[in-house]
Structure 1
Amino acid sequence: MLTSQKLCYKFALITFLFFGLQGIVSLGGAWETAFPDTPIPIPYTAGRSFHLNISIMWPLFGITGIIYYFFGSEAGREIYSLKLIEANFWIFLASIVTILGSLVLGFNEGIEYLEALRPLKVGIAAAISILFYNLIRTYIVAEAPKSRGTLVSILAGSFTLIVFFIPNILRYSHPVAEEFLKFWVVHLWEEMSLELIGTGVLAAVVMTLPGMQRSTIENVLYLDIIIMVVTGVLATGHHYYWAGGPAYWIWVGGAFSTIQVVPILLLIYSIMKTVKIQYFYQLGQREKMVMAMVASSIFYHIFGAGLLGFLMAIPAVNKYIHGTYITSAHSHLAVFGVFGFLVLALSYYIFFSEIVLDKKSYLFSWIGILLLNGGLLIMSMALLVAGGLQSHFWYVLRLTVGETNQGIFPWLLLRLAGGLTYTAGSSLLTYVIIAKAWSNFPLCFPALRQLEKQRCLELKELHNGFQQLAGTANNLEQTLRKTKLLLDKYLKIKP
């Protein structure tokens, strides 16, 4: 294991803590949606902002640790700076905690999904900039080929995180400009940047499967990169239309939204074509859990982000369902499909690299995954029906908002039940991680000086090993010369 990989345990731990917290907060929001008159200490607007922002931040935080864990092994060397990894962790964590805390207290910019005060967003920009700098310095001196698809995909995704986020820190005189740029984060981060990173990391994991050929995956990976960049940029167009852009954007966005499931389908096809299906039955406990979450991610990616996203992008359909609960169902499924379950899977993989996964934790993890999937499906189906009824009541029966809310109340209750199931699953998974972290605290938060000292000792041992090898080779060379001289003398005196 690389020394830099040992700094990634705490990224996985904090990711699950934020994930568990998000489940609890989302349950409160679901309750207030069904019972709006319930007195609560936190206003609905503040709770919603908190929920939306933590839904973006915990996968981003998790993917940072995942990148550091896999990028070094794919590059064939240690990450450039351990100190920058450590700084990256604390700056990112402090920024997220400050943003979430300020939103709960009511400090809000009023830009949906990006409600955090602009000065606080600088911390996020600094964190993703440190990440890219550390990666590019590692890439420059990498022993692996510079054209390796996994490295290119992760670097491209990491760089575009900065490109799409920085403009959202600035102020603009026209609100439409802010709405346009907002979707560079809300949509392009999800449908391009994080998808590029996730695909590159998933490909790196897939490389470890028996029978998997790097050339096969990398050929598909480059095609995936091209498709993700083109479709990600142009599929965002349907958001531009609803923000006040020209009418042609909804057609451009709709057309390219249909192609966004192609990259994951190509990767699945390559895996299934190369790897024997029997191998999956021989996986260890940790690997089975990871594969279950990856499979969940693929399912929601195809049906939640892909199929439902395609239907919603059709102009004639979007006209009637835009702003209904159908949009909420799509966002929940898309978030978990594109990167949510993938981040959980790989964070789980990292966390249990050295920590033992016992039978109890394994059983609780399976129950947690089943509850997560069950809750997500119940919640999404209820939102889809509620959204369809909203559209029917508004546009066909011409009911008021109050009458509509009364009509969809049973489905909001079902959504609440789904949210309760989901929260039970997220809490159980988080409990498994916290329990193991409590008994393995030094492993999760290793001292940086100790790691650097250990790294120096390992390098010194490696250097001494090479010196001994060189000395052995020198002795062997001298022995061969003496043997040759003796053999020459023997041949000369032989009658």
Structure 2
Amino acid sequence: MFRSQHLSYKYALVAYLFFGLQGVVASGGAIELVFPDIALPISYSNGRAFHLNISMFWPLIGMIGAIYFFFCQEAGREIYSFRLIDLNFWLLTGTVGLILGSLLLGFNEGREYLEAIWPLKLAIAASVLLLGYNLVRTYLLSGVPRGRATLISILAGSFTLIIFYVPNILSYSHPTVDEITKFLVVHLWEEMSLELIGTGVLSALLIKVTGAERRVVETAIYLEITFAALAGILATGHHYYWIGVPAIWLWIGGIFSAMQVLPVLLLLYTAVKSAKFSKFSSLSYRDKITTALVGCSMFYHISGAGFLGLFMAYPPLNRFVHGTYITSAHSHFALFGVFGFLVLAICFYMLFTEVLLTPKMYRWCWIALLALNSGLLTMGLGLLLAGGLQAYCWRVIGLSIGDTNQLIRPYLFIRMFGGLIYSGGSILLTFIVVKSIWSKLRVLFHKNGKIAKLTGDDLNNTQKLLHCLVQKEKEAELLLIRIKYLSDRLRR
């Protein structure tokens, strides 16, 4: 195992901690929507800014950890600089902590998803630049083929993280220019940068866990890169129409949004076709949970992000549903449903590489997964019903905003109920992770530490082998007793 992979564990742990915190804060916001007069210690506007930013940054932290973990594996060598891995972690985690704390205190620039003050944005940009530099130096020194698709996909996604974020360090006086620049992060980080990184990382994970054929998977990766570059940028046009650009952008966005369903279907088909699913029953506890989380990500990618996004982007419908709770349902399915589950899967795989997941914790993991999915689906259903009624009453028959809000309030109760279930699942899964590695916490942050001499897979395989030997011993014992009985009979 590479030392770089050990250094990436702390990224995964912090991602889980922020993930658990997000569920708690989001539940408070859902309760305040239904009971606006309730006294909460955090104002709704500050809590909303906190929720939007943490939902964007915890997957980013986990994904950067996954980049370091799988990039050295695919490159066949250590990451160029261990010090830069650690520096990147402390800079990114410290900056995200300052951003979230400052937002709770009301230091807010007023740009949705980009509310942080500019010095903190500059620190985020510096962190992403450190990542890019470390990856390029590693790539140039590696001995594997330069065209290895997993490396190309991760590199392309990492560099677009920089390209799309840097213009947002500044604010712009013209509102249309400011909105277009904002969507470089809000939309293109998700639909292009994280898509490319996630494709490379997920492909490396599938090759490792399911035994998928590299040649077939890499063909799908190159097609995914092509689709992400074309559709990711131009599909954003269904937002541009609403910020003061020509109407043609609404149709450009609608047409290219339809293309965004194709790459994930292609990757799913490739994984199912080439993976050896007969091995699933023999997988370790860690790999079974990881595969289940990846399956959840694929489901929401196709349904919530893909087909629901395509429905919303169709121009004649977009004029009615844009900015309603239907948009909120889509954003929850697309951001957490797709990338949230994917980052949870990868971070779970990383953290339990050298720590054995016990059978008891394994069973609780399934309960947490059930709570996360049932909560997210219930929340999404409530938002879809509220958004459909909102679009009809407000934008079709012309009811006032006040009357419309009274009519949709019962559906916000469904959203709140789903949010509480989801929050319970997020807290439970975070507790399982923290409790399982608590005894190894000190060595987790030590640059020369080793959590265990054997990996979790080795321990699981050893456990299975010992169980098999015990069974064979019992069978041999019964056979010896039978032989002795027959010998006595013959002697008599």
TM-score (norm. length: structure 2): 0.90
Query: Which amino acid is the alignment partner of residue 241 of structure 2?
Result: Y
After superposition, residues 102-121 of structure 1 pair within 5 angstroms as 102-121=102-121
- Aligned partners of 1:302 and 1:337 also within 8 Å: no
**Alpha-carbon deviation of 1:280?**
2.1
d(CA) in 1 for partners of 2:420, 2:409: 17
- Aligned partners of 2:234 and 2:253 also within 8 Å: yes
Residues 107 and 439 of structure 1, relative CA distance in 2, 3 Å threshold: same
1:28 corresponding residue in structure 2: 28
- Aligned partners of 1:195 and 1:338 also within 8 Å: no
Provide runs of 4+ in structure 1 moved above 3 Å.
Answer: none
**Alpha-carbon deviation of 1:403?**
1.4
- Aligned partners of 1:207 and 1:213 also within 8 Å: yes
- Aligned partners of 2:389 and 2:408 also within 8 Å: yes
**Alpha-carbon deviation of 1:449?**
5.6
d(CA) in 1 for partners of 2:403, 2:174: 35
- Aligned partners of 2:311 and 2:317 also within 8 Å: yes
Q: Residue 208 of structure 1: SS of its match in structure 2? A: helix
1:112-171 Cα offsets, whole Å, 9 max, x none, are 111111111111101111111100000001111110000000000000000000000023
Number of corresponding residues: 451
1:243-264 Cα offsets, whole Å, 9 max, x none, are 1111111100110111112111
Q: Structure 1 stretch 222-231 or stretch 160-169: which is displaced more?
A: 222-231
Query: Which amino acid is the alignment partner of residue 380 of structure 2?
Result: S
1:301 corresponding residue in structure 2: 301
d(CA) in 1 for partners of 2:210, 2:113: 42
d(CA) in 2 for partners of 1:95, 1:289: 31
Q: Residue 106 of structure 2: SS of its match in structure 1? A: coil
Unaligned runs of 5+ in 1: 455-495
2:382 corresponding residue in structure 1: 382
**Alpha-carbon deviation of 1:214?**
1.4
Query: Which amino acid is the alignment partner of residue 413 of structure 2?
Result: L
d(CA) in 2 for partners of 1:430, 1:76: 31
After superposition, residues 4-15 of structure 1 pair within 5 angstroms as 4-15=4-15
**Percent identity at matched positions?**
56
Residues 106 and 214 of structure 1, relative CA distance in 2, 3 Å threshold: same
1:247 aligns with 2:240: no
**Alpha-carbon deviation of 1:60?**
0.3
Query: Which amino acid is the alignment partner of residue 351 of structure 1?
Result: L
After superposition, residues 393-432 of structure 1 pair within 5 angstroms as 393-432=393-432
Q: Structure 1 stretch 76-85 or stretch 206-215: which is displaced more?
A: 206-215
Q: Structure 1 stretch 403-412 or stretch 211-220: which is displaced more?
A: 211-220
Query: Which amino acid is the alignment partner of residue 150 of structure 1?
Result: T
**Alpha-carbon deviation of 1:387?**
0.4
1:332 aligns with 2:332: yes
Query: Which amino acid is the alignment partner of residue 173 of structure 1?
Result: S
Q: Residue 279 of structure 1: SS of its match in structure 2? A: helix
After superposition, residues 452-491 of structure 1 pair within 5 angstroms as none
Q: Structure 1 stretch 14-23 or stretch 172-181: which is displaced more?
A: 172-181
- Aligned partners of 2:212 and 2:276 also within 8 Å: no
d(CA) in 1 for partners of 2:432, 2:160: 34
2:323 corresponding residue in structure 1: 323
Query: Which amino acid is the alignment partner of residue 175 of structure 2?
Result: P
d(CA) in 2 for partners of 1:364, 1:210: 23
1:290 corresponding residue in structure 2: 290
- Aligned partners of 2:16 and 2:344 also within 8 Å: yes
**Alpha-carbon deviation of 1:182?**
0.6
- Aligned partners of 2:235 and 2:252 also within 8 Å: yes
After superposition, residues 126-165 of structure 1 pair within 5 angstroms as 126-165=126-165
- Aligned partners of 1:27 and 1:416 also within 8 Å: yes
Residues 149 and 36 of structure 1, relative CA distance in 2, 3 Å threshold: same
- Aligned partners of 2:371 and 2:425 also within 8 Å: yes
Q: Residue 408 of structure 1: SS of its match in structure 2? A: helix
**Alpha-carbon deviation of 1:188?**
0.4
Q: Residue 440 of structure 1: SS of its match in structure 2? A: helix
**Alpha-carbon deviation of 1:29?**
0.5
2:263 corresponding residue in structure 1: 263
Residues 211 and 359 of structure 1, relative CA distance in 2, 3 Å threshold: closer
d(CA) in 1 for partners of 2:216, 2:308: 30
**Alpha-carbon deviation of 1:351?**
0.4
After superposition, residues 346-357 of structure 1 pair within 5 angstroms as 346-357=346-357
After superposition, residues 144-293 of structure 1 pair within 5 angstroms as 144-209=144-209, 212-293=212-293
Structure with the greater alpha carbon radius of gyration: 1
Residues 211 and 444 of structure 1, relative CA distance in 2, 3 Å threshold: closer
Residues 45 and 164 of structure 1, relative CA distance in 2, 3 Å threshold: same
d(CA) in 1 for partners of 2:168, 2:101: 20
- Aligned partners of 1:125 and 1:162 also within 8 Å: yes
d(CA) in 1 for partners of 2:206, 2:251: 36
1:101 corresponding residue in structure 2: 101
d(CA) in 2 for partners of 1:77, 1:183: 36
d(CA) in 1 for partners of 2:176, 2:371: 40
RMSD of Structure 2 on Structure 1 (CA)? 1.3
- Aligned partners of 2:329 and 2:383 also within 8 Å: yes
Query: Which amino acid is the alignment partner of residue 140 of structure 2?
Result: I
Query: Which amino acid is the alignment partner of residue 23 of structure 1?
Result: G
**Alpha-carbon deviation of 1:173?**
2.2
Residues 450 and 434 of structure 1, relative CA distance in 2, 3 Å threshold: closer
1:436-491 Cα offsets, whole Å, 9 max, x none, are 23211133212x2668xx9xxxxxxxxxxxxxxxxxxxxxxxxxxxxxxxxxxxxx
- Aligned partners of 1:374 and 1:418 also within 8 Å: yes
Query: Which amino acid is the alignment partner of residue 92 of structure 1?
Result: L
**Alpha-carbon deviation of 1:16?**
0.4
Unaligned runs of 5+ in 2: 454-492
1:491 corresponding residue in structure 2: none
Query: Which amino acid is the alignment partner of residue 313 of structure 2?
Result: A
2:433 corresponding residue in structure 1: 433
d(CA) in 2 for partners of 1:299, 1:326: 18
d(CA) in 2 for partners of 1:389, 1:62: 37
d(CA) in 1 for partners of 2:9, 2:341: 18
TM-score (norm. length: structure 1): 0.89
Query: Which amino acid is the alignment partner of residue 120 of structure 1?
Result: L
